[in-house]
């Protein structure tokens, strides 16, 4: 056997050829090493693709965030421009002794201008634009001083159930008075301290209408409303539909104590303050022309105004709104309220 192996090896060397015993093992090793290297290269490529994709996604996200921030700031500046334009309009009014609503329900100071573009209360500046509205706070009831009966009348008119109205009206009275005595359906310090998130009863006048949300019985729907255009009629035709509310915020204010402007007050406010007959008489007269002389213990002038300005840029997807309340006295405007974080 030993002689056979020696003879085979000698034959391989003699012929000068590579026998299987001298080449098969190195070929297998080279193939294994090449396959491992190929797998490693593929994995490196996959990892690099993932890293590049993640980096690209992050960059796109950062670019979008930067663009949105830029456009939001531009929209905010547009809204500020609208506020300043509204103030200029108030300053430019020759008189606010007669303030009323025109046919388009827009607030007018003195004699209505024939310049329709001005009454649109909007403008474009560069890539952006703004629109603003001015509402009369003197056409609303001051919730800090009105009687419980008048409060209840308006609450009922907006669709709130009578049992809830009693609770809300009594609780408002308890919230704004300085004592600790409960109204029949009201709430004082002990009630608010017993809540899951306790807080104190104000025992003082409300600083803003949003403060009503802290009062027992109130909620966002009662304050801001849940009715949309056409829903009121639809609710009457389909009483089984979910009940909606008109919202009391357009009838109440925390500003002004010198009476109601009968030219700008709503029917519900006029009826609550002056009664049904006087309210009907006032509405009939102002449908013909603005009332120029005070009547029924009301007034025709205003001093407190709310301005809501909305700025828009680019395609209109980015908007910012600002709300402010100003007091006009003589030739001066005093800012009483400012909120630049409202939903426009």
Domain range enclosing 216: 141-249
C-alpha span between 210 and 198 (Å, rounded) = 18
Q: Looking at residue 299, what DSSP letter applies?
A: B
**Residue 330: inside a domain:** no
Per-residue pLDDT at 13: 47
Cα separations in angstroms, 223 against 47, 136, 168, 310 = 56, 18, 11, 22
Beta strands across the sheet bearing 122-125: 122-125, 128-136, 304-313, 318-329, 332-342
Query: Which of 49-63, 161-175, 282-296 is predicted with the least confidence, judged by mean pLDDT?
Result: 49-63
pLDDT at 117: 45
The pair of three-digit structure tokens given for residue 291, joined into one six-digit string = 């009332």
Tens of pLDDT, residues 246-287: 999 999 999 988 889 999 999 999 999 999 999 999 999 999
Has residue 43 got a pLDDT over 80?
yes
Q: Cα(139)–Cα(251) distance, rounded to whole angstroms?
A: 8
Q: Is residue 327 part of a domain?
A: no
> Is residue 130 included in any domain, yes or no?
no
Task: Using alpha carbons, select from 244, 254, 257 the residue that is nearest to residue 336.
Answer: 254
Query: Is the pLDDT at 10 greater than 90, yes or no?
Result: no
Whether 53 shows a pLDDT value over 50: the answer reads: yes
- pLDDT tens by residue, 70-82: 888 999 999 999 9
Q: Is the pLDDT of residue 37 over 60?
A: yes
Q: How many domains does the chain have?
A: 1
Which residues, 6 or more positions from 146, have their beta carbon under 8 angstroms from its beta carbon? none
List, in order, residues 6 or more apart from 272 with CB less than 8 Å away.
141, 150, 153, 154, 157
**Can you tell me the mean pLDDT for 105-110?**
88
Environment class of 13 (CB within 10 Å of its CB; exposed 0-12, middle 13-18, buried 19+): exposed
| Nearest Cα to Cα of residue 68 among 323, 344, 314, 343 | 314
Largest CA distance in the chain: 139
Residue 282 lies in a domain: no
* Neighbour-count burial of 283, counting CB atoms closer than 10 A to its CB (0-12 exposed, 13-18 middle, 19+ buried): middle
* Whether the Cβ atoms of residue 217 and residue 167 lie closer than 8 Å to each other: yes
> Is 216 a member of any domain?
yes
Residue 30: what pLDDT?
Answer: 63
The angle, 0 to 180 degrees and rounded to 10, between the axes of the packed helices 276-288 and 267-274 is 140
> Does some domain include residue 241?
yes
| Domain containing residue 153: CATH number | 1.10.40.60
Q: pLDDT digit string (tens) for 297-343?
A: 899 999 999 999 999 997 778 899 999 999 998 778 999 999 988 86
Q: In angstroms, rounded to a whole number, what is the distance separating the alpha carbons of residues 252 and 254?
A: 7
* 290 assigned to some structural domain: no
In the structure encoding, which two tokens stand for residue 123, read together? 């403008």
Confidence of residue 14 (pLDDT cuts 50, 70, 90): very low
Note whether residue 197 is domain-resident.
yes
Q: How many CA atoms lie within 13 A of 278 on its CB side?
A: 14
Eight-class DSSP state of 261: B
């Amino acid at each position: 056997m030993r002689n056979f192996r020696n003879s085979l090896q000698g034959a391989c060397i003699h012929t000068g050829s590579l026998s299987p015993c001298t080449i098969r093992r190195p070929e297998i090793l080279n193939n294994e090493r090449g396959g491992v290297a190929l797998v490693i290269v593929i994995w490196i490529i996959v990892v690099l693709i993932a890293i590049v994709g993640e980096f690209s996604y992050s960059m796109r996200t950062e670019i979008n965030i930067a663009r949105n921030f830029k456009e939001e700031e531009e929209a905010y500046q547009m809204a500020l421009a609208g506020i300043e334009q509204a103030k200029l309009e108030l300053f430019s009014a020759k008189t606010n002794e007669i303030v009323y609503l025109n046919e388009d329900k827009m607030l007018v100071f003195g004699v209505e201008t024939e310049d329709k573009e001005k009454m649109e209360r909007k403008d474009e500046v560069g890539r952006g634009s703004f629109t603003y509205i001015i509402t009369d706070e003197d056409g609303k009831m001051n919730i800090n001083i009105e009687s419980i009966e008048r409060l209840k009348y308006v609450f009922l008119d907006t669709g709130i159930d009578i049992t809830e109205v009693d609770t809300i009206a009594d609780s408002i009275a308890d919230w704004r008075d300085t004592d600790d005595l409960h109204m029949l359906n009201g709430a004082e310090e002990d009630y608010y301290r017993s809540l899951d998130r306790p807080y104190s009863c104000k025992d003082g006048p409300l600083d803003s209408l949003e403060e009503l949300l802290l009062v027992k019985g109130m909620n966002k729907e009662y304050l801001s409303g849940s009715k949309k255009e056409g829903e009121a009629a639809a609710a009457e035709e389909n009483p089984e539909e979910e009940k909606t509310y008109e919202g009391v915020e357009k009838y109440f204010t925390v500003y002004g104590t010198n009476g109601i402007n009968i030219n700008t007050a709503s029917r519900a406010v006029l009826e609550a303050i002056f009664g049904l007959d006087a309210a009907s008489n006032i509405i009939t007269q102002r449908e013909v022309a603005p009332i120029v002389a005070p009547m029924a213990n009301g007034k025709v002038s205003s001093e407190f105004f709310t301005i809501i300005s909305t700025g828009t840029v680019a395609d209109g997807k980015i908007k910012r709104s600002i709300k402010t309340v100003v007091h006009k006295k003589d030739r001066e405007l005093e800012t009483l309220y400012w909120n630049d974080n409202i939903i426009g």
